[in-house]
Amino acid sequence: MAEVEIGIITDFFARPVVAALELTGELKAGDKIHIKGHTTDMEIVVTSMQIHNQNVSEAKAGDAVGIKVTDKVRHGDKVFKVID
């Protein structure tokens, strides 16, 4: 399984459990991502994402998006798209 870096975590919100990320690549709903950092290591499938509180199904490099995550992530964690 290959991974390609597509962004970096810029913020985290505990309620709801949401991460903000700055994209350097494309991301679509349904994509599997791997968030990796100093103390973070999680794989999730992107079920939904938002840009400026509007639901979107895909985003591109340069977009700042919010996604639901299953646990705490930290500023600076790297985001990778998992390619089967």
Maximum distance among all Cα pairs of the chain, rounded to whole angstroms: 32
As a whole number of angstroms, the distance between CA 74 and CA 54 comes to 23
Q: Residues 60, 27, 62, CA angle at the centre, nearest 5°?
A: 30
**pLDDT of 1 above 90:** no
pTM exceeds 0.85 for this model: yes
pLDDT in tens, 13-62: 999 999 999 999 999 999 999 999 999 999 999 999 999 999 999 999 99
The CATH superfamily label for domain 2-83 reads: Translation factors (2.40.30.10)
Q: How far apart, in Å, are the Cα atoms of 60 and each of 32, 47, 70?
A: 16, 17, 23
* Section 65-69 average pLDDT: 97
pLDDT at 84: 82
